[in-house]
Amino acid sequence: MAYSTILYDLADGVATLTLNRPEVRNACNDAMAEEVQAALKSAERDENVRCLVITGAGQGFCAGQDLAAVRERGEISFREHLLKTYNPIVAKLRSLEKPVIAAVNGAAAGAGWGIALACDVRYASDTAKFRLAFSGIGLAPDSGTSFFLPRLIGLGRALELAYTNDVLDANSALALGLVNKLYPADQLLPATSELARKLAQAPTRGLGLTKRAMNYALDASLEEALDYEAHLQEIAGRTHDHHEGVQAFLEKRQPKFIGK
């Protein structure tokens, strides 16, 4: 598929998806939503992809919904729009059984912040800014923000951010645990690439099962989580990479994982 609003590259087991509408801070229109969904499906199917990085072109990560595009389109069903655009993106990011890293290079607002929150790990530029933006135009949160934020920072802080529409700077986001690490702008992508290459050499199947276990445990009892862990461990224990890892340990050498 030829892309017009994103860039998609694969090297050394790492797929990089770059939101590429820098003239509007990578605000998302229907074409971009469709192309992101297609790229995520491609990354899921491709065994050569063992880690995914999402970032933005230019000075922004993603400014959320392109409101100018909405105005041009006229009256819409908000529900149908979300079911067609952002909901599939957020759901796929959470279900994709490969590591997903957000390299937040600038402003992440509205649905753009939702996309970043749906990623497994978030590295950010020290100039990045975050804003829910929905209350500023009379809307409620969407794109998974009402799911992720209370779980990450607690209900009170999440509601405060949603109500006030305040901008959160990078240092505040780090202090709240909303990003994993901060880097100067020129070091963000090199640092992200270093982590991505490391994860691309890891036991991909085991990492995917790890993600599945933690997603499940978010809403499970301890007993349910323990039982699910046992189920997933049965699967992991039958993989090539598990046997390779044990053999490498016994032979006192570095394992050579192949992602299977």
Judge if 6-200 and 204-250 fold alike in CATH terms.
no
SS3 content of the chain, % helix, strand, coil (to 5): 50, 15, 30
Max distance between CA atoms of the chain, in angstroms, equals 66
Q: Which CATH architecture has domain 204-250?
A: Orthogonal Bundle (1.10)
Question: How is residue 22 annotated by DSSP?
Answer: G
Separation CA 53–CA 55 (nearest Å): 7
pLDDT along the chain (260 residues), means of 10: 94 99 97 98 98 98 91 79 97 98 98 99 98 97 98 98 98 98 98 98 98 97 99 98 97 96
As given in the structure block, the two tokens for residue 147 are: 């799911």
Domain ranges of the chain: 6-200, 204-250
Report pLDDT for 241.
98
79 closest CA partner among 147, 162, 19, 139: 139
Report pLDDT for 186.
97
As given in the structure block, the two tokens for residue 172 are: 């505040």
Separation CA 23–CA 59 (nearest Å): 9
As given in the structure block, the two tokens for residue 258 are: 């192949």
The SS3 of residue 104 is: strand
58 close to 26: Cβ distance less than 8 angstroms:
yes
Give, in words, the CATH class of 6-200: alpha beta
Task: Identify residue 211 by its one-letter amino acid code.
Answer: K
The SS3 of residue 18 is: strand
Which residues lie below 8 Å from residue 161, measured CB to CB, with a gap of 6+?
132, 149, 168
φ, ψ dihedrals at 140, nearest 5°? -95, 160
Which DSSP string corresponds to 219-249? TS-HHHHHHHHHHHHHHHTTSHHHHHHHHHH
90 closest CA partner among 82, 79, 81: 82
Report pLDDT for 69.
79
The SS3 of residue 254 is: coil
Report pLDDT for 42.
98
Separation CA 54–CA 144 (nearest Å): 17
As given in the structure block, the two tokens for residue 66 are: 């392109």
Separation CA 236–CA 185 (nearest Å): 38
- CA dihedral in degrees (190, 92, 144, 209; nearest 10)? -80
Give Cα separations from 93 to 85, 119, 205, 230 (angstroms): 13, 6, 16, 24
Report pLDDT for 1.
75
Report pLDDT for 76.
78
